Structure 1
């Protein structure tokens, strides 16, 4: 690993660790604090992609994936009030969503890198965030994947409630997913500001 990648690796690792810790703490009825830190993983991936290229970005993603696996393993060993802090389904969902979404982000960004400066980070993050949310919540909480961990009671996640407390009835996990997705989309727009500033400082000729 080249020295140039170390800041990206450290930033990705810090985001993954922080998100795994903060996901244990609720923010309102539909979110956890981790929802506000994890989306910045896309910012790190996009910065590495813009400045050092797709291959470098993929290496940083793989490091983040490894750190996530370690966090999940540690979480399975810590018992909370209702069992392990991280269940098998959560671990599978988290790892699959992260790796798929981040690598997709890298591929889309690389294809769009020659367009307007904001196009690649915006489109790649929006698509990646949508895929990430869909994969994670579907694997973690949908009833049709109960066979992944039959002993894990997730019936609470399927309770029919008004969507986000206002809309038509839907399983609770759908409201959680929509709220999480909304935060990711909002932060993807905000992240364009530090993206532009950092790219201009580190790679003045980039657009």
Structure 2
């Protein structure tokens, strides 16, 4: 089976670029449009892992990481109404969360790949998504990590409000993280449909 990872690299790059653009646009009170495109990165990783193996999936992830770093760097150089479009905390959080979560996704998938067809993509995506959300929002917005970029005022993210507008009182960034996490979980389940279809198509085309 030939390791043709170029489509995976292009798909991952497109998702990363689109998510970096769409994250600038709000969807409701707790989300951005990027929350609906970024989780597709886990779908791409899992498809590559299932069809071409762990090493191919890692190459796709590292390609996505490089594209993400480039997008973040460009964002730090563009000044919007409230300062740089991408702060260094967001850039660091985004890159570290992406790389860590995707590599964990690959490791978990590989441990479960011999079970039922749906088990590996579901569990790996859920674990990876949880790690991704926790790392990104903590690094980017937690007051305890303000030393990373002292000049960046993220006090707005620490405003104490009811969780998602109805739960216990928590910092705003926690509500943002929970909303993002719930979307990732929902999309991880919905992604089983394209995962099954695409894997089946690629497997038939490479055997």
Pairwise TM-score range, normalised by the shorter structure: over 0.9
1:203 corresponds in structure 2 to 203
For 1:59 and 1:142, locate their aligned partners in 2 and report how far apart those are by CA, in whole Å. Answer: 31
2:10 corresponds in structure 1 to 10
Shift of 1:203: 1.0
Structure 2 segments unaligned to the other structure (5+ residues): none
- 1:154-193 equivalences under 5 Å are 154-193=154-193
For 1:204 and 1:121, locate their aligned partners in 2 and report how far apart those are by CA, in whole Å. Answer: 19
**TM value normalised by structure 1:** 0.97
4+ residue runs of structure 1 moved beyond 2 angstroms?
Answer: none
Query: What's the secondary structure of 1:203's corresponding residue?
Result: helix
Query: What's the secondary structure of 1:24's corresponding residue?
Result: coil
Maintained 8 Å contact 2:108/2:124: yes
**Residue-by-residue CA offset, 1:113-166 (whole Å, 9 max, x unaligned):** 000000000000000000000000000000110000000000000000000000
**Residue-by-residue CA offset, 1:21-57 (whole Å, 9 max, x unaligned):** 0000000000000000000000000000000000000
User: Aligned residue pairs: how many?
Assistant: 205
Query: What's the secondary structure of 1:86's corresponding residue?
Result: coil
1:144 corresponds in structure 2 to 144
Maintained 8 Å contact 2:3/2:56: no
Maintained 8 Å contact 2:160/2:170: yes
**TM value normalised by structure 2:** 0.97
Query: What's the secondary structure of 2:4's corresponding residue?
Result: helix
For 2:101 and 2:172, locate their aligned partners in 1 and report how far apart those are by CA, in whole Å. Answer: 23
What is the alpha-carbon root mean square deviation over aligned residues? 1.3
For 1:32 and 1:22, locate their aligned partners in 2 and report how far apart those are by CA, in whole Å. Answer: 7
For 1:106 and 1:3, locate their aligned partners in 2 and report how far apart those are by CA, in whole Å. Answer: 16
Structure 1 segments unaligned to the other structure (5+ residues): none
2:54 corresponds in structure 1 to 54
Shift of 1:200: 1.1
Maintained 8 Å contact 2:15/2:37: yes
2:33 corresponds in structure 1 to 33
For 1:93 and 1:130, locate their aligned partners in 2 and report how far apart those are by CA, in whole Å. Answer: 14
Are residue 82 (structure 1) and residue 82 (structure 2) matched?
Answer: yes
For 1:202 and 1:71, locate their aligned partners in 2 and report how far apart those are by CA, in whole Å. Answer: 30
For 1:86 and 1:24, locate their aligned partners in 2 and report how far apart those are by CA, in whole Å. Answer: 10
